[in-house]
């Protein structure tokens, strides 16, 4: 389901008219659920039914967590989390694990025959999984007061954010869900302008840059050509992803919902930590709240903080895809964050505030952060072998 395709906007227009001007107020949310579920069921029947089953299990497990005794509550919570992650691992990472096992077996001269599973990953499975885990954690913490099965299904199948997020939080969504009344012109004005901005980013800018970015996967280019491809991909992935987010945010606003922002000028940040607080913000905040902070965050020793950073960034890489180059990309950013922390601890404290806040320091910081991020995209987009090849050609290391 492409958010920049004509059928998508035709369906959104029809739903918009029916939603605001035909059906009574008290059944609008049910109409939205029927439309969202029906659309996904039509496009992906088997996987949509699978998500319906998983979401139902998650919801009723949440109800049991609230009502059960403490020892049972923890058991239900852990089993549901593991089961939810199990579906993600099976569909998205099983083939990767099999390939790793094959590689290890060949390296030690053991020959087992593994059949590669033939399966298609359900659309938006990673986004579904993280939203389910968020819901279970917040229910267990007692932070979600207003719950309902149909409301949870509306949150689950909310069609604007299925394809590429943002990873919306249930409490934010439900609070708005309860307070949407009549049509307001600001919904239409903001929604259309945001959708148009997203389309411009995606169709005009990102798709044009894609022609130059393809060079990253060409093993026969020279250094200058690779540099052009690197920077083309750097802007392509931003305008592509942020464009999809704009379309999702604009579509949701048409129906009265204000969902999370996902980008905040990430390439204009002074350091890699600020970059991550501004890039795919719904994912970054999810890892911060549900992995980094529970691990201890940066409150412990330097060594503990470094380990936590490595874990979170490797998990971030794996979340994006089941391949070694995503892990390397995660490690690359982990190293950048660790170097930044060491710099702040041992070097920045000796620099004057006037220098750190000066224009020249700001320009240098932004340039270093931007280029560090740009070269990191090589590992995101290409295989490890091709990434190393590009680095050697660009930096004349052959």
Catalytic residues: 320
- DSSP letter for each residue of 261-301: P--S-GGG-SSHHHHHTTSSHHHHHHHIIIIITTTTTTSS-
Instruction: Please name which of 261, 253, 262, 260 lies closest in space to residue 180, comparing C-alpha atoms.
Output: 253
Count of positions (residues) in the chain: 398
Q: Are the CB atoms for 313 and 272 separated by under 8 Å? A: no
CA neighbours within 13 Å on the CB side: how many for 43?
A: 16
Structure tokens given for 261: 């922002």
Q: Are the CB atoms for 118 and 90 separated by under 8 Å? A: no
Q: Are the CB atoms for 164 and 130 separated by under 8 Å? A: no
Angstrom CA distances, 312 to 276, 309, 318, 322, 333, stand at 12, 5, 10, 16, 10
- How many C-beta atoms lie closer than 10 Å to residue 361's C-beta? 14
End-to-end Cα spacing for the chain: 44
Angstrom CA distances, 329 to 9, 123, 319, 384, stand at 35, 23, 11, 9
Q: For residues 106 and 117, give the distance between their C-alpha atoms in angstroms, rounded to a whole number.
A: 19
Residue 166: asked if its preceding bond is cis (omega within 30°), the reply is yes
Instruction: Please name which of 322, 317, 310, 288 lies closest in space to residue 89, comparing C-alpha atoms.
Output: 322
Residue 85 burial (CB < 10 Å; 0-12/13-18/19+)?
A: middle
Structure tokens given for 127: 């986004």
- DSSP letter for each residue of 205-262: IIHHHHHHHGGGG-TT--HHHHHHHHHHHHHHHHHHHHHHHHHHHHHHHHTT--PPP-
Q: What are phi and psi of 257, to 5 degrees?
A: -95, 140
């Amino acid at each position: 389901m492409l958010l920049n395709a004509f059928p998508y906007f035709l369906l959104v227009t029809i739903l918009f008219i029916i939603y605001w001007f035909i059906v009574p107020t008290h059944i609008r949310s049910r109409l939205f659920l029927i439309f969202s579920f029906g659309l996904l069921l039509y496009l992906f029947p088997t996987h949509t039914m699978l998500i319906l089953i998983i979401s139902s299990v998650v919801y009723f497990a949440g109800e049991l967590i609230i009502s059960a005794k403490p020892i049972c509550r923890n058991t239900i919570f852990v089993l549901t989390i593991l089961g939810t992650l199990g579906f993600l691992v099976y569909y998205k990472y099983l083939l990767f694990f099999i390939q790793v096992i094959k590689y290890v077996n060949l390296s030690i001269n053991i020959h087992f025959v593994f059949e590669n599973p033939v399966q298609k990953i359900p659309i938006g499975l990673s986004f579904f999984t993280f939203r389910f885990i968020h819901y279970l954690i917040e229910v267990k913490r007692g932070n979600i007061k207003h719950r309902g099965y149909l409301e949870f299904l509306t949150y689950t199948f909310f069609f604007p954010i299925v394809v590429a997020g943002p990873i919306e939080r249930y409490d934010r969504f439900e609070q708005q869900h309860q307070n949407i009344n009549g049509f307001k012109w600001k919904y239409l004005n903001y929604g259309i302008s945001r959708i148009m901005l997203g389309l411009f980013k995606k169709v005009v800018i990102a798709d044009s840059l894609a022609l130059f970015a393809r060079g990253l996967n060409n093993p026969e280019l020279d250094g200058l050509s690779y540099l052009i491809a690197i920077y083309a991909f750097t802007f392509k992935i931003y305008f592509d992803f942020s464009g999809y987010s704009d379309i999702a945010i604009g579509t949701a606003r048409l129906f009265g919902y204000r969902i999370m922002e996902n980008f905040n000028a990430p390439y204009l940040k002074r350091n890699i930590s600020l970059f991550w607080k501004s890039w795919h913000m719904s994912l970054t905040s999810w890892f911060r709240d549900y992995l980094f902070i529970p691990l201890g965050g940066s409150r412990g020793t330097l060594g503990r903080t470094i380990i936590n950073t490595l874990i979170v960034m490797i998990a971030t890489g794996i979340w994006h895809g089941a391949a070694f180059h995503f892990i390397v990309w995660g490690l690359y950013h982990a190293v950048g964050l660790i170097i930044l922390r060491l710099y702040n601890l041992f070097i920045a404290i000796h620099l004057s505030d006037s220098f750190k806040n000066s224009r020249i320091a700001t320009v240098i910081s932004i340039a270093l952060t931007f280029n560090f991020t740009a070269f990191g995209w090589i590992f995101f987009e290409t295989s490890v072998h091709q990434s190393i090849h590009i680095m050697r050609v660009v930096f004349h290391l052959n």
